[in-house]
Structure 1
């Protein structure tokens, strides 16, 4: 998970993330980039961050309003040292996705961050359902038609990342940053190898092409590959039925009716 942590210059010595974020980063769960409030909109536009965390003395809507007025879809969490019910209500009404005290337990903080990122990606539960693919975030398992895919820890992380961002193309660098979260990163070729290994495992469970490769750009989850078998068969039946109807149209003398080009391909 890529986190942009925005410090508050009014807080002495806040040149580092709060304790909860630091602990999550040490455990390899998230990758943190520190930033000041200046130029934060441009920073969020330039890079792919899963969430922005704003550290403040007390909840303040000014920076949050600036981010939301810039039409940025990045979810935002506020972490403040002094919290009141009215302060929390105000930032939530302006567009914050959550607001927690700086004393929040690291385990709870990480769970909240993951929940926000999940919801922002269109998933409202701990399991991500994409056709025949189900990713159980709490169990760190991925299944095809209910059958467990035997993934390594890094392979699971990659599948979860691509499932969460199913509509996006991710570069190798973005995948590396998310998988290794600030640790010593291997060469980019490791992602190519990992993609091949996961492809092989999914093909053994009936998924022909789980990932789309855009050469020189990156990878994207191929949602069509996970479409339920019944939906695929219905689609094929519909095409054949349409061709059958079109080919049975009575023809008047001297009039030639050309079959559609897609029908010729099927025949």
Structure 2
């Protein structure tokens, strides 16, 4: 997933960036609210992490302007402020959840996963369909109850399709949401990952879990799972 981090504390920002990148996410960072607003308007993020106490443009104003520009991706606010009034102001500005500093990396991971699931209409961390099971919390995939070994990029591609299952996802969308800004958009890497997933998940081609819709993109079809809207 592609995540925006707007945090003016360099050490904390780097810590969050490293954690998210280690989990396979593409991460953009901004040290102040003004740059965060620019990035937040320009790119199609899956979720944003916004500190409230930002220079140049505070976090609440940043969130309000993003929502006014109809940027609807989930936003998690970070705050060192302990009062409930500050948390309420952040949520009422358009944020979806908050995390009080200091926090444990596992709590950040859990809250982000929950926001991503809710945004795609999934209440559970485990997405199931027929013989396929994708645990988005443990980042574990099983087929007929047997573990499937995937690389980080293969898993990220599958997870994104699963969170948008039933929808056609273009190569451009996958590239924008899964890979860093300097990724070669003209490469055939996406096709390679899709090919590998098909061989690992459906070697006989009987399940047709991942189909190609000409001119539209790739679609994950989970048996028994209603498409997201």
Shorter-chain TM-score range: 0.7 to 0.9
C-alpha deviation, 1:187, in angstroms: 8.4
Cα 1:176–1:89 shift into 2, 3 Å: closer
TM-score normalised by structure 2 residue count:
0.75
1:151 aligns with 2:146: no
Question: 2:25 corresponds to which residue?
Answer: 30
1:55 aligns with 2:51: yes
After TM superposition, the structure 1 = structure 2 runs for residues 218-229 of structure 1, keeping only pairs within 5 Å, are 219-223=217-221, 226-228=222-224
Unmatched 5+ residue regions in structure 2? none
How many residue pairs get aligned? The number is 218
Task: Judge conservation of contact 1:25–1:181 (CA < 8 Å) in 2.
Answer: no
* Counterpart Cα distance in 2 of 1:176 and 1:73: 16
Unmatched 5+ residue regions in structure 1? 232-267
Cα 1:24–1:184 shift into 2, 3 Å: farther
Question: 1:108 corresponds to which residue?
Answer: 107
Task: Judge conservation of contact 1:53–1:76 (CA < 8 Å) in 2.
Answer: yes
After TM superposition, the structure 1 = structure 2 runs for residues 70-109 of structure 1, keeping only pairs within 5 Å, are 70-109=69-108
Task: Judge conservation of contact 2:44–2:177 (CA < 8 Å) in 1.
Answer: no
State which of 40, 45, 49 in structure 2 corresponds to 1:44. Answer: 40
SS in 1 for 2:157: helix
Question: 2:63 corresponds to which residue?
Answer: 64
Structure 1 vs Structure 2 CA RMSD: 3.5
SS in 2 for 1:44: helix
Question: 1:196 corresponds to which residue?
Answer: 195
C-alpha deviation, 1:50, in angstroms: 0.9
C-alpha deviation, 1:210, in angstroms: 1.3
Cα 1:16–1:173 shift into 2, 3 Å: farther
* Counterpart Cα distance in 1 of 2:146 and 2:190: 22
Cα 1:198–1:22 shift into 2, 3 Å: closer
* Counterpart Cα distance in 2 of 1:102 and 1:19: 15
Cα 1:156–1:29 shift into 2, 3 Å: closer
Cα 1:136–1:147 shift into 2, 3 Å: same
* Counterpart Cα distance in 2 of 1:80 and 1:122: 27
After superposition, give the CA deviation of every residue in 1:205-246 in whole Å (9 maximum; x if it has no partner): 73125132545x7x43243xx334xx9xxxxxxxxxxxxxxx
Task: Judge conservation of contact 2:2–2:176 (CA < 8 Å) in 1.
Answer: no
Task: Judge conservation of contact 2:63–2:95 (CA < 8 Å) in 1.
Answer: yes
Task: Judge conservation of contact 1:128–1:163 (CA < 8 Å) in 2.
Answer: yes
C-alpha deviation, 1:94, in angstroms: 3.2
* Counterpart Cα distance in 1 of 2:13 and 2:62: 18
After TM superposition, the structure 1 = structure 2 runs for residues 172-251 of structure 1, keeping only pairs within 5 Å, are 174-175=174-175, 178=178, 188-203=187-202, 204=204, 206-208=206-208, 210-214=210-214, 219-223=217-221, 226-228=222-224
Question: 1:253 corresponds to which residue?
Answer: none
